[in-house]
């Protein structure tokens, strides 16, 4: 199976042969940091363009088509505009917290990338509590959002931040129970173990009905957690202008905007790992010939295809369902998704104990 393992091993060996182990570790950390920043920049450019093209496709129109080949450089032009735009701070705002909030949100998104396996043996940190780590760090972003809403000294920002806080805290429960279903099926919190357990079939197929229910609940919950339509109550234009980032402009606004799309990538990457095997090719039982053909496709390509497939699904939601009211949003979680998640978790436990999965 092709992977990026050879490249990482060659870089590690070259550094250890030319510098001390301490400096080799420091240089590797710097390389990883630069790659993460570069990944963020590329995701911002690609996903914003994808959002516009998908929305144009859904609405039977062209979308961006002026800057670059068929509008391919439109997001680059938008980035240049935001870089050159003056960043303003409201007169009554808490300047320290106002300026800190975008970086808190971005740092939380960066930290979540650590345990995610982008390809075979291509992972920043294969921690043995990877799933728990992701759940814990993802909760930090709500602090940045609440910080931005309160520090802006704007009633619309504060309302948007409070809505976002209630929304994220509520839907984290259902998302967490969906993740626990896969943890029970695997018997491990480590990302590499979860992926390797799907060598003979992805959990979306192996886990029977409970895994399918878990995936449906997970995709709904993470759509709400990332403040995406139809759960974008925190940024409802008709009610709150732009929600918690109403007072932000220039690069500070760009950081919030970028963090939203990076979070979409992250939650879709987690969904791909838990339910679709991450970088693992499609294997069917003992079909040796079919499995060998699938192994010729690079593991990084499998991962990218699965993640962007889920991103397309989340973007599809935006142009299909109308925005919910606040009471409808919370009713959906507390009256329907949470009880269903608890019952499904019990059902998955029975399936795992009885060995009814493939």
Q: Would you report the helix, strand and coil content of the chain in percent, each value rounded to 5? A: 70, 0, 25
DSSP for 105-168, please give it: HHHHHHHHTTT-EEETTEES---TTHHHHHHHHHTTHHHHHHHHHHHTT-HHHHHHHHHHHHHH
Residue 306 predicted with pLDDT over 90: yes
Residue 308, phi then psi, degrees to nearest 5: -70, -25
Share of the chain above pLDDT 90, in %: 26
pLDDT tens per residue across span 185-206 = 888 899 999 999 888 888 898 8
Backbone Cα Rg of the chain: 21
pLDDT at position 3 is 58
Question: Which of 170-174, 201-205, 239-243, 286-290 shows the lowest per-residue confidence on average (mean pLDDT)?
Answer: 239-243
Q: Which sequence spans correspond to the domains of the chain?
A: 82-354
Mean pLDDT of the chain: 87
DSSP single-letter state for residue 334? I
pLDDT at position 1 is 45
pLDDT tens per residue across span 245-271 = 788 888 888 888 888 889 999 999 999
pLDDT at position 290 is 83
C-alpha pair distances (Å), 300 with each of 47, 109, 123: 18, 21, 11
Q: β-strands 117-119, 122-123: how paired? A: antiparallel
pLDDT at position 258 is 87
Residue 239 predicted with pLDDT over 70: no
pLDDT at position 264 is 92
Q: Are 206 and 351 a contacting pair, CB within 8 Å?
A: no
What pTM does this model have? Answer: 0.90
pLDDT at position 2 is 46
Question: Across 4-13, 51-60, 240-249, which has the greatest mean pLDDT?
Answer: 51-60
DSSP for 251-304, please give it: HHHHHHHHHHHHHHHHHHHHHHHHHH-TT-----TT-HHHHHHHHTS-HHHHHH
Helix (H/G/I), strand (E/B), else coil: 59: coil
């Amino acid at each position: 199976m092709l992977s990026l393992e050879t490249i990482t091993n060659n870089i590690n060996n070259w550094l250890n042969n030319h510098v001390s182990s301490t400096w080799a570790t420091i240089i590797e950390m710097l390389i990883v940091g630069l790659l993460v920043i570069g990944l963020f920049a590329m995701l911002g450019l690609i996903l914003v363009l994808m959002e516009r093209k998908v929305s144009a496709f859904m609405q039977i129109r062209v979308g961006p088509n002026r800057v670059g080949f068929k509008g391919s450089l439109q997001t680059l032009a938008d980035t240049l505009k935001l870089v050159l735009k003056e960043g303003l701070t409201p007169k009554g705002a808490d300047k320290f917290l106002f300026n800190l909030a975008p970086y808190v949100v971005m740092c939380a998104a960066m930290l979540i990338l650590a345990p995610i396996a982008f390809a075979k043996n291509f992972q920043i940190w294969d921690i043995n509590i990877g799933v728990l780590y992701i759940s814990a760090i993802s909760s930090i972003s709500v602090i940045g959002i609440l910080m931005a809403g309160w520090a802006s000294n704007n009633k619309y920002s504060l309302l948007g931040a409070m809505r976002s806080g209630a929304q994220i805290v509520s839907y984290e429960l259902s998302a967490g129970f969906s993740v626990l279903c896969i943890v029970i099926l695997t018997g491990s919190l480590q990302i590499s173990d979860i992926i390797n357990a799907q060598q003979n079939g992805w959990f979306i197929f192996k886990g029977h009905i409970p895994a399918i229910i878990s995936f449906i609940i997970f995709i709904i919950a993470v759509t709400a957690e990332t403040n995406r339509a139809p759960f974008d109550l925190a940024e409802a234009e008709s009610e709150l202008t732009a929600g918690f980032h109403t007072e932000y402009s220039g690069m500070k606004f760009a950081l919030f905007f970028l963090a939203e799309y990076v979070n979409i990538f992250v939650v879709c990457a987690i969904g791909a790992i838990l339910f679709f095997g991450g970088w693992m090719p499609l294997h069917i039982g003992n079909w040796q010939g079919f499995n060998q053909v699938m192994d010729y496709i690079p593991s990084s390509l499998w991962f990218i295809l699965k993640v962007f497939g889920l991103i397309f699904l989340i973007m599809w939601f935006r142009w299909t369902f109308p925005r919910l009211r606040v009471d409808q949003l919370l009713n959906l979680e507390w009256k329907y998704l949470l009880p269903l998640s608890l019952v499904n978790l019990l059902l998955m436990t029975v399936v795992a104990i009885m060995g009814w999965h493939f």
